[in-house]
Amino acid sequence: MDESQSISRKNVLIMAIATGVIVANLNFIQPIEGLIATDFNISKALVGILAMLTQLGYAVGLLFIVPLGDIFDRYHLIQFMMVLSVISLLIAYLSPNAAVFGIATMLIGITSVAPQIIIPYAAFLAPSMQRGKVLGTVLSGLLTGILLSQSFSGLIGSVMNWQYIYLIAAIMDIILLLVVHSQMPRDPRGHQQLGYGHVISSLPRLFTTQRRLRGSSLNGFCMFGTSNVLWSTLAFYLADQYHLGSNVAGLLGLLGIAGVLAAPYIGTMVDHRSPRLTISLSVLLSSLAFITLWLAGHWMIGLMVGIVLLNLGTQFSQVSNQAIVQSLNRKENSRNNSIFMFSYFLGGSLGTMSATWAWSVAKWNGVCLVAVAFLVIALLGHLILKEPEKLHD
């Protein structure tokens, strides 16, 4: 792409809103698990499995659908995935029993990967010296969707039947689809002459031959794992230390607005300073966060400061790594993003599992030790694999 070409602020805003609205679909189920269990007359453990199916579907989509962005016109592919997402949401709304709802939740996970097609698309359209800022803005939309989705779901579930959450989400997605169809920029590449089998089989080669991709994947794995260590056990800690309910954990989650506000500025730092510097800051901030949480988490102000630091550290990592990954071969940037996000997601899952186990064994001390393990690996990766000082195409 010619370096003089730019992406308008309106297009960036539309992409940010689209990522936020679509990613929200993944998180609606979490605050209403109890309502679903009562309505379908199933155990809470079984509802937990239904929630896991959404995450499993998302992992499948990351590996097998996101790489399609390197084959098909992304303007059309994004809209096609949004149509499938609307259908999945309507199936969830109309589900007569837990079995059908389980199928719907998995389909919601699979079809909600459009944001991971939009992110490489935004990077592709942005000039290299603006790419970090553009990605920061789009990622702030993504984080806003994640932050607000659970509050939205919990609020709707408290005033009307939980099924209406999925109907309202489907209507919002249809409105968004109309906006995307009329306003999102066309893909200048069109369709590519690549076979699906070739694209999928190339994923291991891309991972093994690109040191920067391996470095970003490892850092994303560790930093999102560290983030999930806190969020998967915060409700336990609040109940144990403060005798507060999970609703307070949801309110504390709104402190993530710090990451939303910082993302575009982080992107500008990546563009004009150094991604190696911003990755260093991500490890430093997350380390300071868990030092604060470990030593001062028994005071609410200490807990809140630790959460803000951790959100900033996670956002420094996400924006920096996306900028690094999207600066690699632009013909393969959907596949590179697929590999990075699968690693990111894998780290988050491991963080959740290991932290909940650590809580059962050693409470808060165990949880903080798990975070330390993730952070030590992140630091070693930072020192050994070495992110670039500057980005270039």
- Asked whether the predicted pLDDT for residue 268 surpasses 70, the reply is yes
User: So what's the pLDDT on residue 142?
Assistant: 92
DSSP 97: S
- Asked whether the predicted pLDDT for residue 150 surpasses 80, the reply is no
**Token pair listed for 339:** 């590999």
DSSP 84: H
User: So what's the pLDDT on residue 41?
Assistant: 93
Residues 6+ apart with CB under 8 A from 189: 73, 74, 124
- For the four alpha carbons of 273, 274, 277 and 279, in that order, the dihedral sign comes to positive
Residues 6+ apart with CB under 8 A from 300: 242
For residue 126, the SS3 value is coil
**Domains, the chain, ordered by start:** 7-201 (1.20.1250.20), 203-388 (1.20.1250.20)
Q: How far is Cα 357 from Cα 355, in angstroms, rounded to an integer?
A: 5
Residues 6+ apart with CB under 8 A from 322: 119, 123, 135, 139, 337, 340
Average pLDDT over residues 224-240: 88
Average pLDDT over residues 265-294: 94
User: So what's the pLDDT on residue 110?
Assistant: 95
Hey, how many other C-beta atoms are within 10 angstroms of the C-beta on 143?
Answer: 25
Average pLDDT over residues 337-342: 95
**Which pLDDT band holds residue 43 (cuts at 50, 70, 90)?**
confident
What burial class does residue 126 get, using C-beta atoms within 10 Å of its C-beta: 0-12 exposed, 13-18 middle, 19+ buried? buried
CB 227 within 8 A of CB 375: no
**Percent of the chain with pLDDT strictly greater than 90:** 67
- Helices and strands (H and E) in the chain: how many: 17, 0
- Asked whether the predicted pLDDT for residue 321 surpasses 50, the reply is yes
Q: What mean pLDDT is reported for the chain? A: 91
Cα 237–chain centre separation: 24
Hey, how many other C-beta atoms are within 10 angstroms of the C-beta on 82?
Answer: 22
Per DSSP, the residues of 24-75 read GGGTTTGGGHHHHHHHHT--HHHHHHHHHHHHHHHHHHHHHTGGGGGTS-HH
| Residue-wise burial string across 194-212, b where 16 or more C-beta atoms lie within 10 A, e elsewhere | eeeeebeebbeebbeebeb
User: So what's the pLDDT on residue 6?
Assistant: 63
Average pLDDT over residues 354-383: 94
- Asked whether the predicted pLDDT for residue 322 surpasses 90, the reply is yes
User: So what's the pLDDT on residue 246?
Assistant: 63
CA dihedral of 199, 202, 203, 205, whole degrees rounded to 10: -160
> Phi-psi category of 386—alpha, beta or left, where left has phi over 0 and alpha has psi -120 to 50?
left
- Asked whether the predicted pLDDT for residue 23 surpasses 90, the reply is yes
Q: How far is Cα 82 from Cα 338, in angstroms, rounded to an integer?
A: 18
CA angle 88, 221, 381 (to 5 degrees): 160
CB 52 within 8 A of CB 174: no
User: So what's the pLDDT on residue 259?
Assistant: 84
Cα 19–chain centre separation: 10
Q: How far is Cα 150 from Cα 186, in angstroms, rounded to an integer?
A: 32
Q: How far is Cα 315 from Cα 88, in angstroms, rounded to an integer?
A: 30
pLDDT digits (tens, 9 = 90+) for 76-102: 999 999 999 999 999 999 999 999 999
Q: How far is Cα 202 from Cα 225, in angstroms, rounded to an integer?
A: 26
User: So what's the pLDDT on residue 1?
Assistant: 40
Q: How far is Cα 69 from Cα 120, in angstroms, rounded to an integer?
A: 8
Residue for token pair 């698990």 = 33
User: So what's the pLDDT on residue 161?
Assistant: 92
